[in-house]
Amino acid sequence: MRSQLRFLSAGIGNLVLERLGQALDVWLAVAFFSPNDRMMASLSAIPHLTMVISEEFTINDPYKLEQLPNAIVRSIPPDHENGKLHAKVFIARMRDGSFWALLGSANLTHQGMFSNQEACAVLESSHPEDKEAVANIREWFDLLFRNAQELNLALAKSIFDQRSQYRLEPRPPTIPAPRTSYWALKTTSGGPGKEEHWPRFLAEGVVAIGWEELTVDPSQVTDAQLRAALRADFDYSVRQIDFSASTIRKFIDLEEGATILLCRGYTSNQTTDVHIYGFARVIGPFQADAVNGTKWRFKRKAVIQPIEATLPRDVMANALEKDSMRQTMHELDRRSFARIVEALGVAVEV
């Protein structure tokens, strides 16, 4: 039988269920994963299941992933250097040795499989001439899998559980009033490690800053005492002490209702896009956890609206009127904030 490449815009979910029921090995790469019970039963019955999903756990359901104990699951963060995972690829090796593949727009969700207007290309064949096409798809998947990381299921659950705060917390129907202050806050720590803390923001429902090794509660000391503590606890220059003390004080003094753009920083000569994680609205007072090695001791409770988008560096710089953004926090005026919102093409819902 020769290859049968065909277009499919209806009956996608039923076809996937049928093929999964005949498969020995399945490889899946999907942005969003939240299948219904019938699809979960089919996935659970597959002898060998390998998956790569996006780490957007405000949508993806980690509790359903947990119900697939035999599956090998890897994840791709939305700010991955190669871009966020947006592909939807299904590959299956059938019991008769043939391969089946589906590539298109349908995520592994109930809507994607059964109710959305989706479009997919289906390859069904046992013909030798199709081995090259299947090999190319598998080669792409294997590279994606190697670039993915181990799934942190506990963190994923925390993010998934916390998402209800954004959905249920009362929030203004429009952009906040002019009296509200606006800020940009980087979610990546400085230094060579460039550790990314956005998942923790989502999991805990907070915005936060670093300096976790600081041995005083900065909200309980004077500016002079804070500078003295920074001098004692960190190998800082006078300029670094001044910057750190100023940033920490700004964070402490944020009024409840302050609106924050959560993003990566950028440099004046940067050629890559700037990742925008989302917006936040501060809803709680400053908190200083005990010194115990925990990241992000200094926090503010916040309602967080995930965006997961990118803007060209020049668009970001022009909107904010800042040639670079390397510091932890930047105060924005209402006009600059509005330009960012317009460039993103989204509504601020926090």
- pLDDT, one tens digit per residue, over 47-71 is 999 999 999 888 889 999 999 988 9
- pLDDT score for 174: 47
The answer on 207 and 145 residing in a single domain is: no
Assess whether pLDDT exceeds 50 at residue 176: no
Where b means 16+ CB within 10 Å and e means fewer, 326-348 reads: eebbbebebebbebbbebbeeeb
| Reported confidence tier of residue 167, pLDDT bands at 50, 70, 90 | low
Residue that finishes a domain, picked among 151, 172, 205: 151
Residue 86 lies in a domain: yes
In this prediction, residues 325-349 reach a mean pLDDT of: 87
Range of the domain at 217: 164-344
Assess whether pLDDT exceeds 80 at residue 163: no
The answer on 206 and 144 residing in a single domain is: no
- pLDDT, one tens digit per residue, over 202-227 is 888 899 998 888 999 999 999 999 99
Q: What angle do CA 81, 84, 88 make, to 5 degrees?
A: 135
Assess whether pLDDT exceeds 80 at residue 157: yes
CATH no. for residue 81?
3.30.870.10
The answer on 110 and 146 residing in a single domain is: yes
The answer on 222 and 96 residing in a single domain is: no
- pLDDT, one tens digit per residue, over 73-111 is 999 988 888 888 999 999 999 888 888 899 999 999 988
- pLDDT score for 192: 44
The answer on 208 and 136 residing in a single domain is: no
Residue 97 lies in a domain: yes
Q: Is the alpha carbon torsion for 292, 297, 301, 307 positive or negative?
A: negative
The answer on 191 and 339 residing in a single domain is: yes
Taking residue 86's Cβ as centre, other Cβ atoms within 10 Å add up to 14
| Reported confidence tier of residue 189, pLDDT bands at 50, 70, 90 | low
The answer on 113 and 64 residing in a single domain is: yes
The answer on 179 and 136 residing in a single domain is: no
